[in-house]
Amino acid sequence: MRNVSNTVLAALLAGTLITSYGAGLARADEEPADPTRGQWDSFLDPLRDLDDQVTNGQKWVEDNSKIHLGAGIVKNYLYSFNDPDSDLLTLHSLDPDAGGGEFDFAQLSAFRPSEGWWVPGFGVKFGFGRAAKRYKADWNGNGALAVGDTFEKNSFEVQEAYLNWTVPDDAPFLKGTTFKGGKFVTLLGAEVIEPWANYNYSRSFLFGLAIPFTHTGGLVTVPITEQLSATGGVITGWDNVGDNNRAPSGIGNLTWIPTDMLTFGINGIYGAEQTSDTGDKRGIIDLVATIKATDKLTFVLNYDWAREEGGVGNSTPATWQGFALVGNYAFTDRFSSAVRGEWFEDHEGVRTGTRQTLWETTLTGKYLITQHLYGQVEYRHDESSDGVFEADTDKALRGNDIIGFAFTLVWT
């Protein structure tokens, strides 16, 4: 693990040096406003100056190559009042460690849009650490992770690696249509893998249990109107690179943005997902709505419903569903707070190993230390209809209370 951490830190340092090169060539009046300057902690201004150098370096690289570089690193500490013997948080997806745990997460990314008729664009994201190991795909298609495959056991993951091409504006038709092929994150869900792109630090049950993380395949996105777009494609399945049953699945999305305050999305996947089984199909519908009520207040709603044939035994279908609501309020330019509430029903126990209903409530406070460095404090309560949460007692408990903090340094 130490070698992985050293590699991550070296890669982030190299990325910082690369993006910082040419920073002096960027014009000062093009720098974005920094809400953390000119306040009580002006002694941190040298660190903010470094932030600006890296940001200007990013812009210089992008202006000269059209490649946008990004980097992020996260470290957290989570404490469970259940004090589980394994030091693991039950049913937590990308934030599973109680206590210091392993190195959490780092990411390096590079994107370039397509250009004209003949130059395709690309996107790559490399993940490192505990979270990368948790969202790792099945690369060899054997239907199991970390079984007989060294790459699937390590803490490095190629989160995304794809080529894309957008029909140019001078095309007689289909202008703006985008084609993407390779490995990419799912279209489903209100949350994403990167913690800095979510309002809460810990992920919801829906994110970890209801939907996949990534896909491999091809997508086509068509702008129907200025407010409505549609995406459709063929994928190898849920979190697969190599197909585990030689039966591709279909994926689709409709996004409607009627006003600047409202965004609605409906997403779905349908196909055979069980290993060496092409007959039993899995289908899921995912609904996401983002409501920007005011400049300071934002709501995000997410509902999932899924059904899988033959999910229990050879004939009984399995179903799961859930709903989450997140509200985020920006009290100042530097301080914001988010509240999330959700429930998740695993009717036959195929997603969690136990037939149960889950609830959770999470409160997260976020404070910008510099423009690219921030800290979070979070309290979360998990509850189940059954005793599933590991504790230092002879039996598992129905509830779990968790408190923790995290620090994130990121250039997106």
Q: How confident is the model over 123-139, as a mean pLDDT?
A: 95
At 43 the pLDDT is: 95
Residue 32 confidence (pLDDT): 56
d(CA 168, CA 115): 8
pLDDT at 24 over 60: no
9 three-state secondary structure: helix
Q: What is the pLDDT of residues 323-346, one digit of tens each?
A: 999 999 999 999 999 999 999 999
**3-state secondary structure at position 152:** helix
The reported pLDDT for the residue numbered 153 is 82
Query: Max Cα separation, the chain?
Result: 70
Question: Can you give the pLDDT at residue 143?
Answer: 82
Residue 164 predicted with pLDDT over 80: yes
Q: Which of 8-17, 106-115, 156-165, 237-246 has the lowest mean pLDDT?
A: 8-17
> Sign (positive/negative) of CA torsion 201, 206, 210, 216?
negative
Q: What is the mean pLDDT of residues 20-44?
A: 67
What are the pLDDT digits (tens) for 63-110?
999 999 999 999 999 999 999 999 999 999 999 999 877 789 999 999
Is the pLDDT confidence value at 199 over 90?
Answer: yes
Q: Is the pLDDT of residue 123 over 80?
A: yes
Q: What does pTM read for this prediction?
A: 0.90
DSSP state of 197: G
Q: Which of 41, 45, 4, 77 is nearest to 407 (CA)?
A: 77
d(CA 254, CA 188): 11
Mean pLDDT of 159-183: 96
**Structural domains of the chain ordered from first start:** 2-27+39-411 (2.40.160.10)
Nearest-CA neighbor of 122 among 174, 64, 66, 177? Answer: 66
Q: What backbone phi and psi angles, to 5 degrees, belong to 171?
A: -75, 145
| Beta strand segments in 224-355, E | 228-235, 249-259, 262-272, 281-292, 297-312, 316-330, 335-346
Would you state the pLDDT for residue 103?
A: 87
- Give the gyration radius of the chain's Cα atoms: 22
State the sign of the Cα–Cα–Cα–Cα dihedral 200, 205, 211, 215.
Answer: positive
Query: Please, what is the average pLDDT of the chain?
Result: 91
